[in-house]
Amino acid sequence: MADIRNIVVLTGAGVSAESGIATFRGPGGLWEGHRVEDVCTPEALARDPELVHRFYDLRRAALAGVVPNAAHLALARLDAAWAGELLIVTQNVDDLHERAGATRLLHMHGELRSASCASCGGREAWEDELPPGSGCTLCGAAALRPDIVFFGEMPYQMERIEAAVAGCDLFVSVGTSGAVYPAAGFVQMARYHGATTLELNLEQSAGSAWFDTTRLGPAGELVPAWVDEVLAR
Ligand code: BV8
């Protein structure tokens, strides 16, 4: 691998699968309980706020029953040891990267342990149930919603992500199907800017053709091995 200084790691539901959090498009995936249009769009929130708030309340409560796995721990080890630039961009809304110790991290699709205000746009930490009409502590409006980026909504911190992807020497994707944009397009942007690209996934994904290398297997095995490799350089 050419000289590496700046790394971007994109993670998806597959990095949390071995912690017991269901992925979206696997057997028994989260969406199978609901059609995505019924729980992850602004229209769904307007149509049935109780259903949408309850869907995210259940997932927030489930965080108490899971712990980071070897993949999260390995990425946190990389974060602590890597002298160059590193940004972990997660599509996941769970808190397992943080609980593993990662700090150079951002959640592009929001976070379960947060609420956002439909009135003032403010975000605030939220641990318990979030009934529709909950009051925003910043502006007082009864307009708090799950702090989740729904389909059709702009992901968070896109400028920061795009700057990191354009400036990285190595782009690594872990545990994502490459089904959802703009995240699925980051590998193409990285390639365009000359980065080496590596995919670590259980199976071939919709984006595999864009990666220089794809390693197939569980993240709990592939990620620690890759972190050892890159730290030994
Ligand atoms: C936007 C919320 C624009 C949180 C999510 C047509 C073409 C291109 C794009 C579009 C289009 N039509 C519509 C769009 C846009 C749309 C989109 O991409 N749709 C897709 C379906 C075609 N995108 C959007 O709407 C985005 N916004 O475009 O805004 C805009 C512009 C201007 C102004 C305003 C707006 C917003 C997308 C965000 C939606 N929210 N989640 C939550 O509820 O969790 S998306 C949801 O699915 C997740 O967050 C995640 O990001 C995404 C993808 O899922 P994955 O993480 O990849 O998980 P998945 O189950 O699919 O795959 C798991 C993988 O892991 C598998 O490959 C599996 O093999 C692997 N795996 C399993 N176990 C393991 C493993 N790997 C390793 N180890 C294991 N043990």
State the pLDDT confidence band at 24, using cuts at 50, 70 and 90: confident
* Ramachandran angles phi, psi of 220, nearest 5°: -60, -20
* Ramachandran angles phi, psi of 155, nearest 5°: -60, 160
On whether the CB atoms of residues 63 and 99 are closer than 8 A, the answer is no
Q: How far is the CA of 127 from the centre of ligand 1 (A)?
A: 24
Q: Which atom belonging to ligand 1 lies closest to the Cα atom of 218?
A: 78
pTM of the model: 0.96
Q: What is the CA radius of gyration of the chain?
A: 18
pLDDT of residue 33: 76
User: Average pLDDT in the 208-231 region?
Assistant: 98
Q: How far is the CA of 183 from the centre of ligand 1 (A)?
A: 7
On whether the CB atoms of residues 9 and 227 are closer than 8 A, the answer is no
Q: Which atom belonging to ligand 1 lies closest to the Cα atom of 205?
A: 67
Read off the amino acid at residue 222: L
pLDDT tens digits, one per residue of 130-140? 999 999 999 99
* Beta-sheet pairing, 110-117 with 144-148: antiparallel
Strand ranges of the sheet holding 7-11, from the earlier edge strand across to the other edge: 105-107, 86-90, 7-11, 170-174, 196-201, 213-216
11: Cβ below 6 Å to ligand 1? no
Cβ-based neighbour number of residue 192 at 10 Å: 10
State the pLDDT confidence band at 15, using cuts at 50, 70 and 90: very high
52: Cβ below 6 Å to ligand 1? no
Catalytic residue list contains 193: no
pLDDT tens digits, one per residue of 133-181? 999 999 999 999 999 999 999 999 999 999 999 999 999 999 999 999 9
Nearest CA to ligand 1 atom 10: 181
How far is 79 from 68, CA to CA, in rounded Å?
A: 15
pLDDT tens digits, one per residue of 176-212? 999 999 999 999 999 999 999 999 999 999 999 999 9
